[in-house]
Amino acid sequence: MDVLRRELTLFFIAMGFFTRIPMPAWVKVDGDNLNKASRYFGLVGILVGAISALVYELSLFVLPTSISIILAMIAGVAVTGAFHEDGLADTADGFGGGWAVADKLKIMKDSRIGTYGAVSLLLSMILKYMLLLELALYDPELVIVALILGHCLSRVLAASIIFTDTYVSDAYASATSVSEGESKEKGSKSKPLAESQTTNELAILLVTGVLALWLSGLGSAILIVVSLFLVRWLLVTVFRRQIGGYTGDTLGAAQQVSELVFYMLLLASLA
């Protein structure tokens, strides 16, 4: 029972951090549990994807497919509080508008959205909608598989970056302080849930993704795994060159990018 309670605690911590779903009152959060909770990021993705898929499935009874997809996307954003979308926008603003590492981190911590962030969000949402709509043209039920797997695998990919790379602290930005009127501290949105990850966390994380993909029965599973591995390598390369590691925002960007790539791969496998 102690083992089960401990694992449930770690799952609820991951769920509480990445979604708006409240944690049970008995869950105690500390630094060690925050790091260990990364093992369940993929499982939280399954939860978010399942909620989005449920909204989509129920909407199909009374609404066209196109509207049902939009409602599913809204559900996903509502459940997570646009957590990962915020990371994508901040990363685009920082990488696009900053020259030095300190400048990039300073921009990423700014609560305001810039041109790069706005454009990246707009294009990513349009692309996500179009990809899901195209999948629905092949089979409306395929969207359910896509949503659950897309949310799961993209979080597995993003969280795995914690294991191999270094968290970039605010020390870079301390030399160039940001006034209160210009920016506000974004707390957990700019700082990742976990700053370190053991082999156990990584193993459970990867097993979650592999099992989800295997249970889906997709014939293109090997292609998807290889392609996502290449996407991960590309993202890590960009993050290292831009800021020397990762931040909470770049993990959010990695999740959004890899989710879109997964939908593309799934659609390409049907062509």
**Which residue ranges make up each domain of the chain?**
2-162+193-270
Helices (H), the chain: 2-18, 31-36, 41-59, 65-80, 83-97, 101-109, 115-138, 142-164, 199-216, 221-243, 248-270
Would you say 205 and 42 are in contact if contact means Cβ atoms under 8 Å apart? Answer: yes
Please choose, from the candidates 224, 231, 232, 235, the residue with its C-alpha nearest in 3D space to the C-alpha of residue 95. Answer: 235
Task: Please state, in angstroms and rounded to a whole number, the distance separating the CA atoms of residues 258 and 159.
Answer: 12
Q: What is the chain's percent helix, strand, coil content, to nearest 5?
A: 75, 0, 25
Q: Give the model's pLDDT for residue 173.
A: 44
> What are the pLDDT digits (tens) for 241-263?
999 999 999 999 999 999 999 99
* Angle 108-110-113 from CA coordinates, rounded to 5°: 85
> What are the pLDDT digits (tens) for 119-174?
999 999 999 999 999 999 999 999 999 999 999 999 999 999 999 999 997 554 44
Task: Please state, in angstroms and rounded to a whole number, the distance separating the CA atoms of residues 107 and 142.
Answer: 39
The list of the chain residues with pLDDT below 50 reads 172-191
Q: Give the model's pLDDT for residue 182.
A: 38
